[in-house]
Structure 1
Amino acid sequence: MKTIFTKKLLLSFIFLVSSFAFAQKPVRELILLDKDWRFSFGHLYDTQKDFGHAEGYFSYLTKTGFGDGPAAPGFDDRAWRKLDLPHDWAVEQPFSKNGSFSHGFKTSGKNFPEKSIGWYRKKINITEKDLGRIISLKFDGVFRNSKVFFNGHFLGTQESGYNGFEYDVTAYVNYGGENTIVVRVDASMEEGWFYEGAGIYRHVYLQKTNPIHIVQNGTYVTTVIENNTAEITIETTLENKGNYKGPIKVVQTIVDKNGVEYTQLSEQFAAPDFYKTTKHLVKIKPDKPIFLWSIETPDLYELITEVVQDGKNIDVYKTTFGIRSMRFDAEKGFFLNGKPLKLKGTNNHQDHAGIGTALPDDIQYYRIKKLKEMGSNAYRCSHHPPTPELLDACDKLGMLVIDETRLMGINDYHLNDLKRMIERDRNHPSIFCWSVGNEEWNIEGGIAGERITNVMQHFAKSIDSTRPVTVGISSGFKSGISSVVEIMGYNYLGNGDIDAHRNQFKQQPGMGTEEGSTFATRGVYFTDEAKQYQSAYDKKPRPTFYSIEEGWKFYAERPYLAGMFIWTGFDYRGEPTPYGWPSVTSYFGMMDVCGFPKDNVYYLKSWWGNEPVLHLLPHWNWTGSEGKEIEVWAYSNCDEVELFLNNKSFGKKKMEQNGHLEWKVNYKPGTLKAVGYKNGKKILTEIQKTTGKSESINLSVDKENYSGKVSVVTVETLDKNDLHVPTDNDEITFSIKGGKILGVGNGDPTSLEKDQFIDAVSLVAITNLQEQKGTNALPQQLSNYEEKEWREAFKDRDYKKQAPSYIYRGEFDLNNVSPSNVISFFYKKIGVETVVFINGNKIEPSAEDPQKYALNPAILKEGKNSIYIAATPLQKIKDWDVMNTDPGIIQVITPAESWKRKLFNGYAQIIIQKDENTAEVLLTASGKGLRTGKLIIKN
């Protein structure tokens, strides 16, 4: 009795605990699915190399649930590479002159069909307790043309690589068991003329909600400021994917940056009908003074929306928003919170050195922070919707944003993309303008462009009436789009007469959506056409275009122009104008692809920022050029600057507003010094010294990162006096403990070095599979089998009259086998009991997986190798059962080289990620003849 009583108590306790756990489960769950995916390349047109996908008699488009090849739930992906998201497979590839100019000459895309298709697979468990909830998959972005399958069911195709999308998988879930997510990505076609990456390069989530829930992006918050308070309007869209028909209550609470609850409003109404939506509109006037969002004080609020049914919370949805006012004035420019603000913007693509487009969230913050340090206050998403985390960074750091759709047009493809972008992003206070197009040369100056712009502009206003619409225009500013767009976007002074257009359309506000397009290579001060390096002095990029200084002066002097956006903030892969191969990145950036500043950064910082600035260029290491005349420039916002060489003064010069200063100095080793004066007082000193040779490696980490998971490390060399050596190009090798390196870069536009050093995984097929009948006992060593008895395996097999066993033989090719290779045979079951021989040697399965065989390199041969499999046959249960005839795959892992990168003009960059539950990371850097550098990063 005692035992029975104890068991009853235990069962009751377990029931109570499980009930409590279920009760405590969040009513809405959003689970990040970035970890532990399997990946392999398929093929653009060869279905056999694409794992037989879409070869089935019934395809995924003919009958529901018939995903075949890797799309089938039972597909064996054990030999595939294991990785985490976000992932860009293009950045992992080598460079080739046969690659795409616009995409940085990587061996990916339509010219490389074996690297154009990527397959991703992941298994997840969903509990029986989730039965009755709505289960969906959310993708922030996949480049591009993705097909998604869930448990063999085709969910849909998303063509564009820049829009997020969501699929409801509720009906397909295996509750209480394993579920398989499969994504086929086709990156053969380019959407842009710039590097776009390839693969699932943004986050993926599993979402679980009540059948009655707030839809994705289902809250829309707008504000009207009145004195020191605001009227807040909240539109909430609810959906009912269930049969409940009674009343529900919506409770909405606003919380400020300090966690103080501002107000709460509760209203009751009828639930939407089955698979219908209802919009709920409320207006709230907070009873406390408000915090305004601005570029200096980016204060944010959180709206908590709760859905209540029968007194119980069934959904909670959180929305971040900001309170601010903004407007354009055709005479006076742009106003934020009632104050004039000159837009000091940059255009940017979304890739970064070493990691391509697969940016960790921390790197979004790193990049925006670098732009803020330069004095920039605005960012144009060129030319597509950004990842959500970039907008989060702009919200939190105080950076205004032009959010831009990818392609102009008036049909569902174009307008649905625009709608999804606006609905996703319209609560971000950083966004001040929607852009519906960029440099559409074929339609810019004609009636088609005018009509398309009118449709898109009005369509955008129907979704968000609080922000204006712009288009970036470059083929003259005379007619077509220019005539009707709400905010005129001028792309380059050299493309038309801005003043003339303004005089014709005086009621149309305008801004420079692109300006500059200048060429510069960081740390280079004499253009070298042979090396394809451009001087970093700010010069006209071509006769009809303008330097950064000329462009800024033009916009700064015209109050009616709201400001300008420089092309670009950062260098990016692709578009290596004015060169081609072997240049692989652009030259346009104020910073290089790593975020290391070029000298133009300091010009902008002088006139865009609020802090005193004094910067001297070039460096003063010109061995062999003694006596040669060197251009010396000073960027500063001081009143006057005095220049010295080895304590000899070259006199003071007055600084012109928005200008710079120049001297001609005959080179002599030593110390070049500039002294800046404000109101007659010395306030700044800048020095460039001639250095000695490099003797040690210095590692430093960017300490202001967002989450602490990912760090950006700068690598440089120092001379014996601990001075940075600006001309050093040493190769540095790296090792790490407690973390992993995600990528390396150095900003060299012609570098063809690897961005990433990862193990290479290749799959080798077993070919020419033949069979002959065996006996009841499986052989433990190979016999001399009659050659005439071999026949094509499984051909015309009578599954009702099978032999007791079969002997199968096949072959596989190995090339360049080395002792460092890790080679395995992943057996796919073609029998009940199995014995495997490689080149006549019996091999045993591994302990962790009875269908995996580790192959000793000593028994393998260069070229053809034989495999024999003795197996008792599988039996058909039903006549229509499809039997496996694939014996498996050979996996060859070639270990990666050590991580390394050459310095470029004194600098390189490493991006590292901490291991989970690691207290510290140790990064070590070594180079020939240099003192090793070490860096410890702690939590």
Structure 2
Amino acid sequence: MNKQLPLFLLLLLSIFSCSPSNKEGSKREKININRDWSFTFSEENDEFSSSKKNGEWETVGLPHSFSLPYFRSESFYVGYGWYQKNLIIKKEWLSKALHLEFDGVFQVAEIYLNGKKVGEHSGGYTGFSLDISKAVKEGNNLLAVRVNNVWDAQLAPRAGEHVFSGGIYRDVYLTVTNPLHVTWNGTFVTTPKVNNEEATVNIKTTIENKSLIDKSFILRTKIVSPNNKQVAIIERQEIVKSGEILTFEQQSEKIKNPQLWSPEHPNLYRIETFLLEGDSVVDNYSSTLGFRWFEWTADQGFFLNGKHLYLEGVNVHQDHAGWGDAVTKAGVYRDVKLMKEAGFNMIRASHYPHHPYFTEVCDELGIFFIPENCVWGIGGFIDEGNWKSSTYPTKEEDWTGYNKSAEKTLEELIKINKNSPSIIAWSMSNEPFFSSEKVIEPMKKLLVDLVDESHKLDPSRPAMIGGAQRQNVDVLGDIAGYNGDGATLYKNPGFPNMVSEYGSCVTDRPGDYTACWGHVTDGEKPAWRSGHAIWCGFDHGSIAGNMGEMGIVDYARIPKRSWYWYRNYFRGIAPPKWPEKGMPKSLKLFADKTTIIGTDATDDVHINVQVLDENGVHISNSPDVTLTIVSGPGEFPTGRSITFKETTRNDIQILEGHAAMEFRSYEGGTTIIEATSKGLKPAQIEIITTGLPKYEEGITPVVKARPYQDYRWQQAVETGSSVKVSDARPTRTNSTSITPASLANDGHKWTKWNPISKDGIIWWELDMENFYNVEDVNITFQTATDMTIELASSVNQKDWISLEKLNCNTKQKPYLEWNIKDNTKVRFIRFTFTLKNKALPLSIGEIEVYGKTN
């Protein structure tokens, strides 16, 4: 078996939900239907539900994004798109229960079969299942899906610092089962008792009877060990009436000496569920089980299996270069594997539910996982009507709808992922305090309700409030996750806590060989803190511009130097020799593997190209390089070729003589890919795709070119007017005063910051937690002082640029209104006050900063 994708290949070898080892045999089919879709942009209401009418239709495969190809632009297409597919239904299936299972559609999906609407789903980050049993016919059926990613005041999320591209961007399946069957994600497996010597297992199984008669059946549950040995079997006789859905509970006897799950030893058991009518198995279902116990404590941190363990975490967004959010399972696997290889033991799923396969990989590779609900916002939010709005609705008529949306997403998140041993908490939110002052209280009430709902849905895990460093939301859950300056503001809060985001290296590859955050190495690991998580693992697309450049791995999944720093720090692996300038002579092509398993785009390969000198050594020179499919099947996000340019910022890049892109195929066959650059010796690589249909040169239609299009012409987010970007944001100062620097931006002009400096030079620094064009600064002074004020800016809190300088006599004018002429987008600004008379005190009531994101 290919060691690079052990779990992934296991899943591909068995497309059914049951284990291939059970003797009863597979009775349900789960068929991937990613291939052969048609797509067009259209706002037609239902014109394309029953036939293919006018429109510029494109043949596409799933996963697919409206923004394809996407390269980290701040803007993206917002609107409607239609998908169509011919769905073939076999005659013998007409007596079965048929369901469509979507792993994720952003963000509203309306599903039609043969012109009849069979269901819809709102919410872009969780999967859903639709019963189509009564809507299908034998033979060809037209499946049509209308998708939109239009901002909705009542739909979570209403804002965030990534992008919101539409599309059927995750996998889709057709499941065929007996009318008597286990429902979608229909088991809940817990371990009421577990220790080193013994454990018990509790299984709740939800069963539906869609037949016209009552059904008597045996529910048989087997527990299978990591080495494929049956360790327990439980049976009970039950009856489900026609049309009923019932949940049955089973409890195992004691299982001796369980193999515990941990990051070092991710031992996975299986729960094999069988429904028998008489001696015949009519349905079977497989679930994951990991024996482990954990505890979050207020004073001693986190414990796993009775031993203290510090959580060294990383935040992860889901999108990849070129493909955007439309990532394959293989791409998901590589992401988790990269973080595991660097030595991290925990991932926080910032800031929405991820692909269900993400959780499976965390289970398999052994890395803790904290999934997160999509209740979050953006600093410097503006008025209603766009993706930069208040986290919580500002209009009361939207409260009920928004609350239901947030609760529904949480319910689906837990339902889909609840059996994974890697999950150690459910996060309710991220920085929900980015809400209008007038709705802070209803925002808090929603968080309380979400925590209560989490406890009901899964009593076995605690609820976290992520990004809890403002507005006292940290006390509303079981665990507080503090972002940014919360690491220093909240000392020993008296309840379980961690730093859910730290670090802000804003840089393209290669970046610096650094941790980005001093607390990693300076001993800032007090006993009461359970862990911390770096922001962030990967570069990503962001409506906030440079916010997407904070990864320790770049957008194309090539590690920056900080990734190597962490790997060395955690695992003791020295970094490689960094490439240097040389004389380019040739190109080198290589991939993470050279075989793609199957033609449904659940698998792909990561193609890399490097520039070499005459000795075959990788050098940092970065000429334009083009990858072209010379023959055979497959595609890049841009079509049959892709060109990397050094001069293109935030787009299709080659940096340090190295570029990469993911390649997928929807037909079987052999593909030859060639890398070329003017004046250099080219290189080729052969990729084999297994499965049907086979590609026939000159006969099989090939994907058309998809030129990269920057949607800045169609602003997904309107610019609007300047907004205040200073209130309650993180601050730093050189002052030795006991009054905190945060009094200068607490939103109250009557509170005073009284800085002290022996040499009369005082600086005050603001982290706006986003990137803004600073336009205006207002300062209210509380004392009469003569001084000069210098304003400097930075994108990374390291390299500072002086913007403007002025003289200020606060005796003549205690209130300063300062219009800033420089329109560079920055994150950090620093005020340096140089007092002309050191004996006169400086006292500031408030510093207000206003800016725009566009």
Under a length normalisation based on structure 1, what TM-score does the superposition of the two structures give? 0.63
Residue 910 of structure 1: aligned partner: 661
Structure 1 partner of 2:553: 591
Partners of 2:536 and 2:550 within 8 A in 1: yes
Alignment check: 8 A CA contact 1:729 1:902 kept: no
**Cross-structure match for 1:231:** 200
Q: Which residue of 2 aligns with 1:69?
A: 47
Change beyond 3 A, Cα 1:494–1:601: same
Out of 609, 618, 629, the residue aligned to residue 715 of structure 1 is 609
- CA gap 1:25/1:37 in 2 versus in 1, 3 angstroms: farther
Q: What are the Cα deviations for residues 98-156 of structure 1, in whole angstroms up to 9, with x where unaligned?
A: xxxxx7234511xxxxxx21110111121232233221211111112111111211123
In structure 1, how many angstroms separate the alpha carbons of the residues matched to 2:550 and 2:68? 20
Q: Report the alpha carbon displacement of residue 704 of structure 1 after superposing the two structures with TM.
A: 9.9
Alignment of 1:123-138 (within 5 A): 123-138=86-101
Are residue 338 (structure 1) and residue 338 (structure 2) matched? no
Task: Specify whether residues 689 and 486 from structure 1 end up closer, same or farther in structure 2 by C-alpha distance, changes over 3 A only.
Answer: closer
Q: Shift of residue 520 of structure 1?
A: 1.8
Distance 1:291 1:746, change over 3 A: farther
Partner Cα distance (1:932, 1:376) in 2: 37
Alpha-carbon distance between aligned partners in 1 of 2:633 and 2:544, rounded to the nearest angstrom = 33
From 724, 739, 746, the equivalent of 2:618 is 724
Q: Distance in 2 between matches of 1:750 and 1:234?
A: 57
Q: What is residue 698 of structure 1 aligned with on the other side?
A: 588
**Kindly tell me: are residues 484 and 454 of structure 1, through their superposed partners in 2, closer, same or farther at Cα, counting changes over 3 Å?**
same
CA RMSD of aligned residues (A): 2.8
Q: How does 1:730-745 map to 2 (within 5 A)?
A: 730-743=624-637
Partner of 2:296: 328
**Counterpart position of 1:279:** 247
Amino acid at match of 1:587: E
The one-letter code sitting in structure 2 at the alignment partner of 1:453 is: L
2:225: which partner in 1? 256
CA 1:551/1:444 → structure 2, altered by over 3 Å: closer, same or farther?
farther
CA positional deviation for 1:749: 10
Q: Secondary structure in 2 aligned to 1:171?
A: coil
Which residue, out of 136, 140, 145, partners 1:183? Answer: 145
CA contact (8 A) 1:86 1:202 kept: yes
Using a 3 Å threshold, how does the CA distance of structure 1 residues 305 and 722 change in structure 2: closer, same or farther?
same
Which residue matches 1:926?
676
Contact 2:627 2:643 survives alignment (8 Å): no
User: Secondary structure of 1:935's partner?
Assistant: strand
Counterpart among 58, 61, 65 of residue 84 in structure 1: 61
Matches within 5 A, 1:890-901: none
- Residue 614, structure 1, aligned to residue 574, structure 2: yes
Equivalent-residue separation in structure 2 for 1:576 and 1:450 (angstroms): 25
Specify the SS of the correspondent of 1:235.
strand
Give yes or no for contact 1:522–1:747 (8 Å, CA) kept in 2: no
The residue aligned with 1:465 is 459
Q: Output the CA distance in 2 between the equivalents of 1:751 and 1:690.
A: 21
SS in 2 for 1:548: coil
Report the 3-state secondary structure (helix = DSSP H, G, I; strand = E; otherwise coil) of the residue aligned with 1:471: strand
Larger mean Cα displacement after TM superposition, 77-86 or 444-453: 444-453
Determine the structure 2 residue equivalent to 1:148.
Answer: 111
Instruction: State which drifts further: 188-197 or 237-246.
Output: 188-197
Q: Is the 8 A contact 2:628 2:674 kept in 1?
A: yes
8 A Cα contact 2:513 2:564, kept in partner: no
Letter in 1 for 2:480: M
> Which residue number corresponds to residue 777 of structure 1?
none
Deviations 1:344-369 (A, max 9, x none): 11111110112111111111111111
Which residue, 363, 366, 384 being the options, matches 1:398?
366
Aligned length, in residue pairs: 626
Contact 1:229/1:285 (<8 A) preserved: no
What residue number does 1:602 align with?
564
Does the residue aligned with 2:549 lie in a helix, a strand or coil? coil
Aligned mates of 1:385, 1:914 — CA distance in 2 = 27
1:822-901 aligned within 5 A: none
User: Residues 531-551 of structure 1, C-alpha deviation per residue, up to 9 Å, x if partnerless?
Assistant: xxxxx365xxxxxxxx73323
Amino acid at match of 1:613: I
Deviations 1:541-572 (A, max 9, x none): xxxxxx73323246743121111111110000
Rate the CA distance shift 1:753–1:451 in 2: closer, same or farther, 3 A: closer
Q: Distance in 2 between matches of 1:509 and 1:475?
A: 14
Match of 1:490 among 482, 490, 495: 482
* Contact persistence 1:695–1:719 (CA under 8 A): yes
Taking a change above 3 Å as real, the CA distance of residues 207 and 151 of structure 1, as seen in their structure-2 partners, is same
The answer to whether the 8 A contact 1:738-1:914 is kept is no
Cross-structure match for 2:499: 512
Moved more, 402-411 or 354-363: 402-411
Cα distance per residue 1:274-326 (max 9 Å; x no partner): 33222211111365532222112212111111111233212111112222111
2:339 alignment partner, one of 366, 371, 391: 371
1:58-92 deviation digits (Å, cap 9, x = unpaired): xxxxxxxxxx41012x4458972212111112032
After superposing the two structures, state which structure 1 stretch, 697-706 or 360-369, moved more: 697-706
Tell me the secondary structure at the aligned position of residue 90 of structure 1. coil
Q: TM-score, normalised by structure 2?
A: 0.69
CA distance in 2, matches of 1:142, 1:83: 15
The answer as to whether partners of 2:186 and 2:207 remain within 8 angstroms in 1 is yes
Higher relative contact order (CA 8 A, sep 6+): 2
Task: Give the Å deviation of 1:484.
Answer: 2.5
> How far apart in 1 are the matches of 2:436 and 2:367?
29
Unaligned runs of 5+ in 1: 1-23, 44-49, 54-67, 96-102, 110-115, 525-535, 539-546, 579-584, 616-685, 755-900
Please give the residue correspondences for 1:362-761 in structure 2 after superposition, counting only pairs within 5 Å: 362-407=330-375, 411-442=403-434, 447-473=441-467, 475-476=469-470, 480-493=472-485, 497-499=489-491, 502=492, 505-506=493-494, 508-523=495-510, 536=512, 538=514, 548-553=516-521, 556-575=524-543, 577-578=545-546, 586-607=548-569, 609-610=570-571, 612-615=572-575, 687=577, 690-703=580-593, 709-743=603-637, 751=648
Q: How far apart in 2 are the matches of 1:373 and 1:706?
A: 23
The change in CA–CA distance for 1:333 and 1:739 in structure 2 (over 3 A counts) is farther
What is the one-letter code of the residue matched to 1:69?
Answer: E
Asked whether the 8 Å contact 2:624–2:645 carries over to 1, the reply is: no
Residue-by-residue CA offset, 1:342-401 (whole Å, 9 max, x unaligned):
111111111011211111111111111111111111111111111111112111111211
Residue of structure 2 equivalent to 1:61 = none
**2:30 corresponding residue in structure 1:** 30
Structure 2 CA distance for aligned equivalents of residues 391 and 688 of structure 1: 34
1:716/1:233 Cα in 2 relative to 1: closer, same or farther (>3 Å)? same
Within 1, Cα distance between the matches of 2:170 and 2:666? 20
1:612-636 CA distance string (max 9 Å, x none): 2334xxxxxxxxxxxxxxxxxxxxx
Q: CA deviation at 1:495?
A: 7.7
Distance 1:431 1:417 in 2: 17
Letter aligned with residue 290 of structure 2: G
Alignment identity in percent?
29
Distance 2:548 2:676 in 1: 30
Partner amino acid for 2:549? Y
1:208 equivalenced with 2:165 (yes/no): no
- Distance between the aligned counterparts of 2:344 and 2:269, measured in 1? 24
Give yes or no for contact 2:634–2:671 (8 Å, CA) kept in 1: no
Q: 1:225 corresponds to which letter in structure 2?
A: V
Distance 1:214 1:331, change over 3 A: same
Q: 1:482 to 1:39 in 2, by over 3 A?
A: same
